[in-house]
A and B are shown apart, each in its own frame.
Chain A
């Protein structure tokens, strides 16, 4: 069964550094999402992406964040200058098409900012 994959599984970085989290969506899916889960808290939406542009973003997704799909396969989340409060598990999710229902989640990347 096709799966969403994410790399790396764990990233440790120093405050102020840039990080790029990578996701490989399921091949025939068209909508992509990033969510995050701060330890012990609920999963929160960051951004959705369709047809090479952002569809929707939350208040969390400020100017420090960006997304792109540079090569038509990988879907990336970049944090330009990480803060301690960016430490979280970041999940990529995909949706097959507009008429689909369930989103498929990757295993997540644990980001630790020190």
Chain B
């Protein structure tokens, strides 16, 4: 069975500092990995994905994520945080070999960027 772990419920970072939101996963095959962001009273917005190729993937709003197969991790990063980045971040996984298999989400990490 697929699963995603986001070990931190909350991450606090000062504006301008780098941020990292952690994610580890477990799948039976090779994974499709995703990050979504949820702003208050809004739906989930797609940020970025890893499918294959370069382990460092770049996404929306200056975010990037690094796929590490040996550590089964897909941490979300940004070099310089903005107050507007404050939101709830979800990591998700899908088994590559299962076509339109639904996403399995982590429990989410609340990012708070302090001015």
Contact = CB atoms under 8 A, between A and B. Distances in A.
B105 A44 contact: yes
Interface residues of A, number: 27
A60 to B, nearest CB: 12
7 contacts: A35-B102, A56-B102, A91-B43, A93-B103, A104-B46, A105-B44, A105-B45
Contacts of A91: 43-44
B14 interface: no
B105 to A, nearest CB: 4
B37 to A, nearest CB: 11
Contact of A95 (B100, B105, B106, B108): B100
Contact of A50 (B43, B44, B100, B104): B100
Interface of B: 32, 34, 36, 42-46, 49, 51, 90, 92, 99-108
Contacts of B36: 105
Classify the interface of chain A: helix, strand, loop or mixed: strand
Given A31-B100, A42-B105, A102 B46 contact: yes
Interface in A24-54: 31, 33, 35, 41-45, 48, 50
Interface of A: 4, 6, 31, 33, 35, 41-45, 48, 50, 55-56, 58, 91, 93, 95, 98, 101-108
A3 to B, nearest CB: 9
Contacts of A108: 42-43
B49 A101 contact: yes
A103 B32 CA distance: 12
B43 A106 contact: yes
Contacts of B100: 31, 48, 50, 55, 95, 98
Given A102-B49, A104-B46, A106-B43, A56 B105 contact: no
B44 A48 contact: no
A70 to B, nearest CB: 22
A98 B99 contact: yes
Contacts of B46: 102-105
B60 to A, nearest CB: 11
Given A98-B99, A101-B49, A101-B51, A45 B104 contact: yes
